[in-house]
Amino acid sequence: MVNNTLSGTRWKLVKRHWQLYLLIALPILWLIIFCYVPMYGVQLAFKKYSISKGIFESPWIGFRYFEILFTTPSGLMVITNTLILSFYSLIAGFPLPIILAIALNETRNRLVRKSIQMITYAPYFISTVVLVGLMFQVLDPRLGIFNRIFELLGGKPINFMGDPNLFSSVYVWSGIWQGMGYSAVIYLAALAAVSPELQEAARIDGCTRFQRIWHVDLPGILPTIITLLVLNFGFVMSVGFEKVYLMQNPLNLQSSEIIATYVYKVGLINADFAFSTAIGLFNSVVNVILLLTANQIARRTSDSGLW
Amino acid sequence: MKTDVLFQGFLQAFMWFWAIVILYPLIYVFSASFSSPHAVVSGQVWLWPVEPTFKAYEAIFNNPQIMIGFRNSLIYTALGTVISVVLTLLLAFPLSRPRFVGRGFFTWMLVFTMLFSGGLIPTYMVIKGLGMLNTWWAIVLPSALSAWNVFIARTYFKSLPEELYEASTIDGISDLGHFFRIVLPLSTPIVAVIALFSAVGLWNSYFNALIYLSNDTLFPLQIVLRNILILGNIDISMVQNFDAMVRKQGLSDLLKYAVIVVASVPVLLFYPLIQRYFVRGMMIGSIKG
Amino acid sequence: MKKIAIFALLVGGLSVLAGAQTPKPEWLSKGQYPLTKEKVTFNVLMQSVPNVTDFSTNQFTQWLETKTNVRLNFIMAPYDAGAQKEKLNLLIAAGDLPEILIGMNIDASTEARFGSEEKIFLPLNKYINDPKVMPNLNAWLAKNPTARGTITGVDGNIYGFPEINECYHCSLQQKMWINQDWLKKLGLKMPTTTEEFYKVLKAFKEKDPNGNGKADEIPLMGATDSWNTQAEPFLVSSFILDSGMYNKMKLLVDTKSGKVSSILDQTAYKEAMKYLARLYKEELYYNNSITQKNDQAKQLMAMDPAIIGVFPSGYPGIMIDSVAQNALWRAFTILPPLKGPNGYSSTPLSPAGLTPNRVVFTKALKNPELAARWVDSFYSYDFTSRKYWGAEGTDWRWAKPGETGLDGKPAVYKVLSKGNDVQNIHWGEGGINFNPAAYRFGLETTPGIDLGSPDGLEAMLLQVTAKIEPQVRKDVVILPTVKFTVPESEELQLLQVELERYSEQQRVAFETGAQDVEKGWAAYVKKLNDLGLQKFLAIQQKAYDRQYKAKK
């Protein structure tokens, strides 16, 4: 009886808001065609792929590819290195675009604001190859501007690219350098939408800038911050391959070998699609766990999350 | 008040520090693309171009494909952006409505695609099955929706005051009407951001083109530029044509930088256009009132 | 066996130097043209070539069609190998199999997988062995008997037609270049042993050869990422033959016993590590060489006054611009391989010259015999000249009596047009390449060309390469291309990734002194074995025996 009423109300809601289903139909159709239909490819993670037999007819081999990752002598190392790079990027890189956006938002001079916005946004378009090339140049112990300044200040030149302990910092901060302005765009848009009335009210109340930012701006963009933070946890294992690979050398290998580069080095052989599918699946599962956890924490603490 | 000055100073210092740290390499890339190969290689280029030359740009713009590439990229970006924005908003709005039955299910459906993917082969088969190989659609459709953008838009819609919706209901405005007449006009910043993200993604993408297109006349700019970049490569074991090799020497260093300039200027110019919409379309108060 | 494919190639190349040649070209196409009465079309998956605008309208393509009556329907594949492989895999998976693949970089494991495992590639033995179908390739293989081992797959079938590009200087690509102006200035002789070399480097560092009063000289510098720009292999080769920076497992074959070994766990390698550590510690070897890229090396090279004494690379143009830095370019000359403390010296002879699987037929091909005859046409000087240079008479012509080639012998052809960077006249380096040594040396060249000029590059490389050739060892050679079955290569690759990473890490640890060689050696060898070095070698041995022992 209770159930009946409940489903009854639900049904009523569905009927009342039928137009919402009309709106969502097209994007859902897209999701089905371009994401769900191809999903059968995931079974490759458990198969020995034969290209002439096709995905469905290829023989099963169980968890063999996962075993490889876990039993290889460096398996633990590559997973740890991946996690270090990822969390370091997240912790160091996540707050900076927010600060930049707030700083830009507080800049009254339009020309300055727009120019700096544009400058900080531009490096996003530099290709990875050139970015790494610039890094080697700027950080070179003998030629690089970094070490020259350092020497002027009386320090000894540091071989940034050859020190395994510095590898993650170089990777992360160059990433921040490249992506900060681009990531700030979304916060700028969110700040633009913070209610002008609240701003006005705060000003009339005699709030300092800091108080205004703290009590009006930040809460205004908090939902965006939380959404992006939670989403980021869904990509923790997905550290890109190209930049790390280009930065690798024998001196830093102990911290620069990550899952993606390991798969690249192994996967170029026959297993090809199957091995990389399996590793991709492993990454996805870890990402799911992290995302769910992050979402749960977000809901507990701020009452907003992805769902 | 003192802490406020301090705080203000911190923000300004932070901003200027990054602006300068970022600006220098940008100028370097720009200057290097206009300098002689030898000057770049020997580290003489510091800030301004040395022994200015247009060699790299000549190599790029003499390529018969470059204009076709530009045109194609513009089409893909424009068309793809429209499709992306429409699909994103259509999905994001219902997901932002608290009374939308099935919200959890559809949200999960979306998150799942962000985390799992079927891989290259099955996706290729789908594109092939739809007859999209070697057409515009293979470029603009498969990447149309990103869960990331949908969540950004949904968060924004959620942040709009619920009273707006109640007002609509009282006025007898339907869900569709509410979306188009009330929500969209208030959402210019987020529409602008999603348009920007989609456009940048489409403009920069080349992998789909590499895989789904085999007809030169359909290649986007990024593919053409990649091909030009390879022009500077020398396989010494194959070299019998020494004139060609001497001409190529050093060119690859310049091309590297010039290609960045050519590829990114259009998207950079797009940004100020978008920026104008980073203001809320109307005062919410005016509607409420 | 005992004789390795590479020897044959080299001997083949050198015989040209020795014997006089008639101006009449040796290799001309022998087919009956047109090859077919009815026009036949092939679907060809072809690697893009950056400087060719459009293959389907290309002038050479048109000439080819008129001459052979074979039309080509091109499906273009990306230029870079990774994306190419994706494209090929997708085409096969989607059932859009092309008939012929050209220039698709089919490596040994792809060959094993699509050839013997999945039967997508056609075995070609019957066409190659039939002199009526493939007269030129057949004759060439008869002259180069060991080449057969290189192109044969794990099941004894041949799945691809090879590319023949006998680049003599690339066969001895591990080269070290020394600033002879500095040697002269300091009154030093060209070093011949590792100890003499050490003294020269020390003098370079301490005696201010560039004369600016500052100790800014870098005696020896290398880079990580360009063609043979790592210094270690050259130095190690004075202790035990090092196969070069691209072969990280450093595999060798004993020519008498046919035993495969790696130098990584051998005592001579340990001695080499001590020598490297000494150079590193005294900063005779620029410490940043282990991490820097060639871009930085070029900048250091371009300092004024010059600060670099010695550097490695396949050819000096990698670090010096022969036009803009011509004086510096002339200052550097080859440093022949050095003798180690035991009088050992060596230089690796690379298996350059023959690349398997340049052209592959798939099971979709309807007329393989015609296709084989068509492919054979490319193994000729007339086709190759048209393909690489363009039309006869306007872009190139046959040599006239009295004209001489690079090696001073009668020339084969003369180039008439310098060509453009982007063109639609010929296929350039695309398609099927046939450049035997005799053809490459047959390029008409002004006698007595200035070896220090940019145009004199090939002649200069020829000369310096001849200088290091006597150092090639007869008792041991680097392991030639070996092919593996699918299960073998799976096992191998997993071992290799671990072994390579560990040995590289440990090498730099020894070199930089982070780990003392004497103290760390035993643990290092033990760890190599724990990671499966012996198993790795056993698989290599088995595959090597299968491929080369039987063929002799």
What pLDDT, on the 0 to 100 scale, is given for residue B120? 87
Q: How far is residue B89's CA from residue B145's CA, in Å, rounded to a whole number?
A: 10
Which pLDDT tens digit goes with each residue over A160-216? Answer: 998 999 999 999 999 999 999 999 999 998 888 787 777 778 878 888 888 888 888
8 Å CB contact of A269 and C489 = yes
Q: SS3 of C90, please? A: helix
Which pLDDT tens digit goes with each residue over B267-280? Answer: 888 888 888 887 65
| Nearest in space to B198 (alpha carbons), one of B126, B270, B101, B103 | B270
Contact C100, C345 (CB under 8 A): no
> Are B207 and B273 in the same domain?
yes
> Are B36 and B79 in the same domain?
no
Residue A241 lies in a domain: yes
> Are B48 and B62 in the same domain?
no
Decide if the complex's ipTM is over 0.95.
Answer: no
Give the amino acid at C54: D
Per-residue pLDDT at B24 exceeds 90: no
> Are B23 and B145 in the same domain?
no
At C183, list the tokens: 């040697």
> Are B272 and B170 in the same domain?
yes
Number of domains in chain B: 2
Q: Give B288's pLDDT tier (boundaries 50, 70, 90).
A: very low
A286 touches chain C (CB under 8 A): no
8 Å CB contact of B279 and A192 = yes
Alpha helices in chain A (DSSP H): 2-16, 18-31, 54-57, 64-71, 75-93, 95-106, 110-121, 128-139, 145-152, 164-192, 196-204, 209-212, 218-233, 242-247, 253-256, 259-267, 272-302
Per-residue pLDDT at B107 exceeds 70: yes
Q: How far is residue B258's CA from residue B255's CA, in Å, rounded to a whole number?
A: 5
Number of domains in chain A: 1
> Are B65 and B183 in the same domain?
yes
Q: Which of A49, A50, A51 is the mutation pick for testing C, counting most C CBs within 10 A?
A: A51
> Are B109 and B11 in the same domain?
no
**Chain B residues in contact with A306 (beta carbon < 8 A):** 107, 111, 151
Give the number of A-C residue pairs with CB atoms closer than 8 Å: 86
Q: How far is residue C493's CA from residue A34's CA, in Å, rounded to a whole number?
A: 34
Mean pLDDT (whole number) for C530-534: 96
Which pLDDT tens digit goes with each residue over B191-202? Answer: 999 999 999 999
What pLDDT, on the 0 to 100 scale, is given for residue A32? 95
Residue of A nearest to C528 (CA): A73
8 Å CB contact of C89 and B121 = yes
The boundaries of the domain holding residue A106 are 47-302
Q: Give A8's pLDDT tier (boundaries 50, 70, 90).
A: confident
Whole-number CA gyration radius for chain B: 25
Identify any residues that bridge with C43 across adjacent strands, giving them in sequence order.
C73
8 Å CB contact of B216 and C76 = yes
**Chain C residues in contact with A75 (beta carbon < 8 A):** none
- Give the range among A218-222, B13-17, B232-236, C121-125 with minimum mean pLDDT: B232-236
Tell which C residues from 185 to 224 touch A, by Cβ distance under 8 Å.
224
* All partners of chain C with 3 or more CB pairs under 8 angstroms: A, B
What pLDDT, on the 0 to 100 scale, is given for residue C352? 64
Residue A19 lies in a domain: no
* All partners of chain A with 3 or more CB pairs under 8 angstroms: B, C
Residue A282 lies in a domain: yes
8 Å CB contact of A249 and C92 = no
Q: How far is residue C459's CA from residue C25's CA, in Å, rounded to a whole number?
A: 21
Per-residue pLDDT at C1 exceeds 80: no
8 Å CB contact of B41 and C302 = yes
In whole angstroms, how far apart are CA A69 and each of A41, A72, A267? 20, 6, 12
Residue of A nearest to C499 (CA): A73
Bond prior to C34 in cis (omega within 30° of 0): yes
What pLDDT, on the 0 to 100 scale, is given for residue B279? 66
Q: How far is residue A125's CA from residue A217's CA, in Å, rounded to a whole number?
A: 29
Q: How far is residue B202's CA from residue B209's CA, in Å, rounded to a whole number?
A: 10
The boundaries of the domain holding residue B26 are 2-53
8 Å CB contact of A37 and B141 = no
Q: Which of A15, A18, A29, A31 is the mutation pick for testing B, counting most B CBs within 10 A?
A: A31
Does A150 or A257 have the greater pLDDT score? A257
Residue of B63, B125, B248 with shortest CB distance to C94: B125
Give the number of B-C residue pairs with CB atoms closer than 8 Å: 112
Residue A85 lies in a domain: yes
Q: How far is residue C284's CA from residue C265's CA, in Å, rounded to a whole number?
A: 26
B255 touches chain A (CB under 8 A): no
What pLDDT, on the 0 to 100 scale, is given for residue C14? 42
Q: Give C11's pLDDT tier (boundaries 50, 70, 90).
A: very low
* All partners of chain B with 3 or more CB pairs under 8 angstroms: A, C
Which pLDDT tens digit goes with each residue over C499-522? Answer: 999 999 999 999 999 999 999 999
What are the phi and psi torsion angles at B69 (to 5°)? -60, -45
What pLDDT, on the 0 to 100 scale, is given for residue B250? 67
Tell which B residues from 63 to 122 touch A, by Cβ distance under 8 Å.
87-88, 90-91, 93-95, 97, 99-104, 106-111, 113-122
Q: How far is residue A222's CA from residue A305's CA, in Å, rounded to a whole number?
A: 11
Residue of A nearest to B187 (CA): A193
**Chain B residues in contact with A280 (beta carbon < 8 A):** 117, 119
Mean pLDDT (whole number) for C54-67: 94
DSSP C478-526: EPPP----HHHHHHHHHHHHHHHHHHHHHHHHHHHTSS-HHHHHHHHHH
In whole angstroms, how far apart are CA C399 and each of A164, C23, C308, C410, C458? 58, 7, 42, 8, 19
Q: Percent of chain B scored above 70 by pLDDT?
A: 89
CATH of the domain at B76: 1.10.3720.10
Bond prior to C305 in cis (omega within 30° of 0): yes
A44 touches chain C (CB under 8 A): no
Q: How far is residue A220's CA from residue A227's CA, in Å, rounded to a whole number?
A: 13
Residue A32 lies in a domain: no
Contact B35, B47 (CB under 8 A): no
Residue of C117, C291, C498 with shortest CB distance to A159: C291
What pLDDT, on the 0 to 100 scale, is given for residue C149? 83
Does B229 or A96 have the greater pLDDT score? A96
Does A301 or B194 have the greater pLDDT score? B194
**Chain C residues in contact with B257 (beta carbon < 8 A):** none
C529 touches chain A (CB under 8 A): no
Mean pLDDT (whole number) for C261-290: 96
Identify any residues that bridge with C359 across adjacent strands, giving them in sequence order.
C102, C161
**Chain B residues in contact with C352 (beta carbon < 8 A):** 237
- Give the range among A192-196, B284-288, C229-233 with minimum mean pLDDT: B284-288
Which pLDDT tens digit goes with each residue over C176-221? Answer: 999 999 999 999 999 999 999 999 999 999 999 999 999 999 999 9
> Are B244 and B110 in the same domain?
yes
Which pLDDT tens digit goes with each residue over A43-57? Answer: 989 988 888 888 898
Mean pLDDT (whole number) for B107-129: 92
Long-range CB pairs of A154-160 (<8 Å, 24+ gap) are A159/A251, A159/C287, A159/C288, A159/C291
8 Å CB contact of C293 and A269 = no
What pLDDT, on the 0 to 100 scale, is given for residue A9? 82
Q: How far is residue A248's CA from residue C505's CA, in Å, rounded to a whole number?
A: 11
- Give the range among B133-137, C146-150, C416-420 with minimum mean pLDDT: C416-420
Residue of C112, C114, C498 with shortest CB distance to A73: C498
What pLDDT, on the 0 to 100 scale, is given for residue B1? 64
8 Å CB contact of B271 and A28 = no
Q: How far is residue C494's CA from residue A271's CA, in Å, rounded to a whole number?
A: 11
8 Å CB contact of B256 and A133 = yes
Residue of C50, C165, C302 with shortest CB distance to B227: C50
**Chain B residues in contact with C440 (beta carbon < 8 A):** 240
Per-residue pLDDT at C360 exceeds 80: yes
**Chain C residues in contact with A73 (beta carbon < 8 A):** 498, 531
Q: What is the pairing mode between strands C413-415 and C396-398?
A: antiparallel
Q: How far is residue A186's CA from residue B94's CA, in Å, rounded to a whole number?
A: 21
Q: How does the average pLDDT of chain C come out, rounded?
A: 89
> Are B236 and B272 in the same domain?
yes
> Are B92 and B192 in the same domain?
yes
B130 touches chain C (CB under 8 A): no
Q: Give C493's pLDDT tier (boundaries 50, 70, 90).
A: confident
Give the amino acid at A233: F
Cross-sheet strand order for the sheet of C332-335: C218-220, C308-312, C176-179, C332-335
> Are B125 and B255 in the same domain?
yes
Domain architecture of chain C: domains with CATH: 5-167+352-441 (3.40.190.10), 173-348+474-552 (3.40.190.10)
Residue A89 lies in a domain: yes
Q: Give B287's pLDDT tier (boundaries 50, 70, 90).
A: very low
Q: How far is residue C373's CA from residue C371's CA, in Å, rounded to a whole number?
A: 5
At B127, list the tokens: 């594109």
Identify any residues that bridge with C335 across adjacent strands, giving them in sequence order.
C176
Q: Percent of chain A scored above 70 by pLDDT?
A: 96
Q: Which of B68, B214, B257 is the mutation pick for testing C, counting most C CBs within 10 A?
A: B214
Which pLDDT tens digit goes with each residue over B74-101? Answer: 999 999 999 999 999 999 999 999 888 8
8 Å CB contact of B22 and A126 = no
What pLDDT, on the 0 to 100 scale, is given for residue B243? 60
In whole angstroms, how far apart are CA B64 and each of B74, C52, C458? 17, 11, 32
Per-residue pLDDT at B232 exceeds 80: no
Alpha-carbon distance C421 to nearest alpha carbon in chain B (angstroms): 7
C438 touches chain A (CB under 8 A): no
B224 touches chain A (CB under 8 A): no
| Cβ neighbours for C278, distance < 8 A, ≥ 6 positions apart | C198
- The b/e string for A134-159 (b: 16+ C-beta within 10 A; e otherwise) is bbbbbbbbbbbebbeeeeeeeeebeb
What pLDDT, on the 0 to 100 scale, is given for residue B19? 92
Q: How far is residue B11's CA from residue B4's CA, in Å, rounded to a whole number?
A: 11
CATH of the domain at A72: 1.10.3720.10
Contact B69, B226 (CB under 8 A): no
8 Å CB contact of C531 and A68 = no
- Residue C503: count of CB within 10 angstroms of its CB: 22
8 Å CB contact of B260 and A126 = yes
Give the amino acid at B99: R
- Residue B235: count of CB within 10 angstroms of its CB: 12
> Are B41 and B159 in the same domain?
no
What are the phi and psi torsion angles at B58 (to 5°)? -60, -45
Residue of B nearest to A43 (CA): B118
8 Å CB contact of A251 and C498 = no
Which helix (H) or strand (E) segment holds residue C415: the answer is strand C413-415
Mean pLDDT (whole number) for C99-112: 91
| Cβ neighbours for B229, distance < 8 A, ≥ 6 positions apart | B252, B255, B256, B259
DSSP A194-246: S-HHHHHHHHHTT--HHHHIIIIIHHHHHHHHHHHHHHHHTTTT---SHHHHH
Q: Percent of chain A scored above 90 by pLDDT?
A: 45
